[in-house]
């Protein structure tokens, strides 16, 4: 089994709680709106990182990041992108087991046509009254077990 950390919408803030929440992960996927190269550097101290560019990632440091990418991890094919409305391919024929996205700052987990859709929520500055979260994803072949993880005490999602 492979344990993946899933994070999005950090907007330049790498909270100290992220280190504990991502302890033991073997891969970190960042679904965009990273905000600064320091966030990626901090995440790389915790494990290998794959990231995509979000709409706020416009400075030169982010130019080399793709808008979307397919990541093969633990036997699963996962599409990583920032904004779900920019999804241009049908996950079924593309043999994807999951679509990971951010942008809305709202954590979400649902299955549609046999494909897992996972938004880890926002791990960056709080937006309105939305929770501050990330996700962990356990992958064993084509079996995926997502978990939303609150980063601030007293929150649930």
**Of the candidates 92, 98, 91, the residue with the CA atom closest to the CA atom of residue 73:** 98
Q: Does the residue 72 lie in any domain?
A: yes
DSSP letters along 71-95, please?
A: EEETTEEEEEES-GGG--S-TTTTT
Q: What is the pLDDT of residue 131?
A: 96
Domain membership flag for residue 32: yes
- CA–CA dist 12, 92 (Å, integer): 34
Count how many domains the chain has.
Answer: 1
In a domain, 26, yes or no: yes
How much is the average pLDDT of 51-64? Answer: 97
Task: Tell whether 157 is covered by a domain.
Answer: no
Residue 27, in any domain of the structure: yes
Region 108-127 average pLDDT: 96
pLDDT tens-place string over residues 66-116: 999 999 999 899 999 999 999 988 888 889 999 999 999 999 999 999 999
CATH number at residue 78: 3.60.21.10
Range of the domain at 73: 2-150
Question: Residue 157: its pLDDT value, please?
Answer: 42
What share of the chain has pLDDT > 70, as a percent?
97
List Cβ neighbours of 156 (8 Å cut-off, separation of 6 or more): 131, 150
Q: Band the pLDDT of 142: cuts 50, 70, 90.
A: confident
Dihedral sign, Cα of residue 124, residue 86, residue 25, residue 137: positive
Residue 50 predicted with pLDDT over 50: yes
- 53 occurs within a structural domain: yes
Residue 155 lies in a domain: no
Q: Give pTM, 2 decimals.
A: 0.95
Contact 3, 74 (CB under 8 A): no
The two three-digit tokens of residue 112, written as one number:
């549609």
């Amino acid at each position: 089994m492979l344990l993946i950390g899933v994070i999005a919408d950090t907007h330049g803030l790498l909270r100290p709680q992220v280190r504990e929440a991502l302890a033991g992960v073997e891969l970190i996927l960042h679904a965009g709106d990273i905000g600064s190269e320091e966030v990626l550097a901090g995440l790389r101290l915790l494990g290998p990182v794959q990231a995509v560019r979000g709409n706020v990632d416009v400075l030169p440091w982010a130019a080399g990041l793709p808008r979307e990418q397919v990541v093969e991890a633990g036997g699963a094919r996962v599409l990583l992108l920032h904004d779900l409305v920019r999804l241009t391919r049908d996950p079924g024929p593309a043999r994807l087991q999951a679509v990971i996205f951010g942008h809305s700052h709202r954590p979400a987990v649902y299955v549609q046509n046999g494909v897992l859709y996972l938004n880890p929520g926002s791990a960056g500055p709080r937006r309105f009254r939305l929770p501050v979260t990330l996700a962990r994803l356990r992958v064993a072949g084509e079996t995926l077990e997502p978990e939303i993880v609150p980063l601030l005490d007293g929150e649930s999602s």
